Structure 1
Amino acid sequence: MASTSDIRNGLCMEWEGDIWTVIEFQHVKPARGAAFVRTKLKSMTNGKLVDNTFPSSAKIDEVRIERRKFQYLYKDEMGHNFMNNEDYEQVSIDEKLIERPDLLKEGMEVDILYHAAKDIVLTLEMASSVIMEITYTEPGLKGDTATNAFKPATVESGAEIRVPLFINQGDFVKIDTHTGAYMERVKQQ
């Protein structure tokens, strides 16, 4: 058991039958009345965001989270399959536990977060950006770099993104894994 003074960004806790991580917090001490902590919490099981206020006397159940490195293998009817490179353990994760499943590509390294006490998968975290090849887009126009116009494009994982007009099929682009947005064109790997 921890107290509200232990609340910090990234803290994982069990609250109302779910596991939550603290996204934002603010300790408030009004001139009159008891202190409290205003928080923004994110569910680790379904991604739901909730605002909650804890009184200073509240006790919270801190949850220990383990981060394990896995490699993405393939997708089948059971979900997305990953392998631990140390002991070759394989795990299948439901698509709803992955923030951007359309940006997963074979061989990609990811972190899978486990509830340490119960040894169950909570969620999956990818790197902040990935580099992928454009497999299909309309041809770009030479010199069309001044405007801020975008066109649809498909990358090697099958994800649809929006790219600037000068991007062509076969180009490599960096994509933000949190938003799915184009970041920049990169040299071929």
Structure 2
Amino acid sequence: MTYLPVNSFKNGTFFKENGMPYEVIKYEHVKTGRGNATIRLKARNVKKGTMIEKSFPSGSKLEEADMNKKKVQFLYGDPKSGYFMDLETYEQFDVDREKLEGKIDYLKEGEQVYLLDFEGEIIGAVIPLSVTLKVTEAGPSEKGDSTSSVTKPATLETGVVVQVPMFIKVGDLVKIDTRNGSYSERVTNKN
């Protein structure tokens, strides 16, 4: 059992409380006048998906969640599951979409990602913070829409629908933030 000082936490750190694994979403170090510093955490229960907000005195320690990252290749998805292949054993298996929390919508077939294993159970996935995807469907563009902040829905090659600026058209490559599904930029050439 390893304990981590809360002062060393950062966004993305995993810890365990009451036997449940949590991921730090927001970390804040608060120093008040003469009082001791306090660490405020906003964390997500990675098994249930619920959020908590807690404060801890500086110097407190919490148990480290024993998370294993397994490198896998995404094969395909269906309405209920995502199908993956372990890159070491070549074993194929499925993971419920609920555990992947919408991250599967940004994965192309053949893409390599990490699955999070907690005590022998797959409880989540780690994917890139941004992905470049091709627009397969989009509404018409009007002349002069290049500087507008108005958006329209566009369907990307993985089937996910995102809001994009009016100047985006079918065939364009767009960079999408996978944390919230927002459009970042149009990509002119993919390296």
Task: Indicate whether the TM-score tops 0.5.
Answer: yes
Closer/same/farther in 2, CA of residues 5 and 43 from structure 1, 3 Å limit: closer
The 1-side partners of 2:145 and 2:13 are apart by: 46
Which residue, out of 55, 69, 72, partners 2:71? 69
| TM-score, with structure 1 as normaliser | 0.82
CA shift, 1:143, in A, is 4.1
- Looking at structure 1, the residues matched to 149 and 120 of structure 2 have their Cα atoms a distance apart, in angstroms, of 47
**In 1: Cα distance, 2:78 partner to 2:179 partner:** 23
Whether the 8 Å contact between 2:100 and 2:123 is mirrored in structure 1 is no
Deviation per CA, 1:134-179, whole angstroms, max 9, x where unpaired? Answer: 1111222344212211111111111111111111112221111111
Report the residue type matching 1:104 in the other structure.
Answer: L
For 2:184, the aligned partner's letter is: M
1:16, distance to aligned residue in structure 2 (A): 2.4
Unaligned runs of 5+ in 2: none
Rate the CA distance shift 1:62–1:152 in 2: closer, same or farther, 3 A. same
Structure 1 residues 125-134 or 82-91, which shifts more? Answer: 82-91
The DSSP-based 3-state class of the residue aligned with 2:98 is helix
Q: Secondary structure at the match of 1:145?
A: helix
- Give, in whole Å, the separation in 1 of the partners of 2:127 and 2:76: 15
Secondary structure of the 2:114 match is strand
1:119 is matched with 120
Query: RMSD across aligned C-alpha pairs, in angstroms?
Result: 2.6
What CA deviation, in whole Å up to 9, does each residue of 1:18-69 have, x standing for no partner?
Answer: 111233143657746x775432222112332211123568653222222222
Q: What is aligned with 2:178?
A: 177
* Paired AA for residue 72 in structure 2: F
Alignment-mate amino acid for residue 29 of structure 2: Q
- Post-superposition shift, 1:83? 0.9
Q: Percent identity?
A: 33
Q: Is the 8 A contact 2:7 2:58 kept in 1?
A: no
**Residues 23-34 of structure 1 aligned to structure 2 (within 5 Å):** 23=25, 24-26=27-29, 31=34
**What SS does the corresponding residue of 1:96 show, helix, strand or coil?**
helix
* TM-score normalised by L of structure 2: 0.81
Residue 134 of structure 1 aligns to a residue in which SS?
A: strand
Residues 1:56 and 1:119: Cα distance change in structure 2 (over 3 Å): same
Work out the CA distance in 2 between the residues paired with 1:35 and 1:147. 45
Matched ranges for 1:1-189 at <5 A: 1-2=2-3, 4=5, 7-9=8-10, 10-23=12-25, 24-26=27-29, 31=34, 37-55=39-57, 60-76=62-78, 79-100=81-102, 101-115=104-118, 118-187=119-188, 189=190
Q: CA deviation at 1:7?
A: 4.7
Could you say if the C-alpha distance between residues 28 and 134 of structure 1 is closer, same or farther in structure 2, counting changes exceeding 3 Å? Answer: same
Q: Is the 8 A contact 1:134 1:169 kept in 2?
A: yes
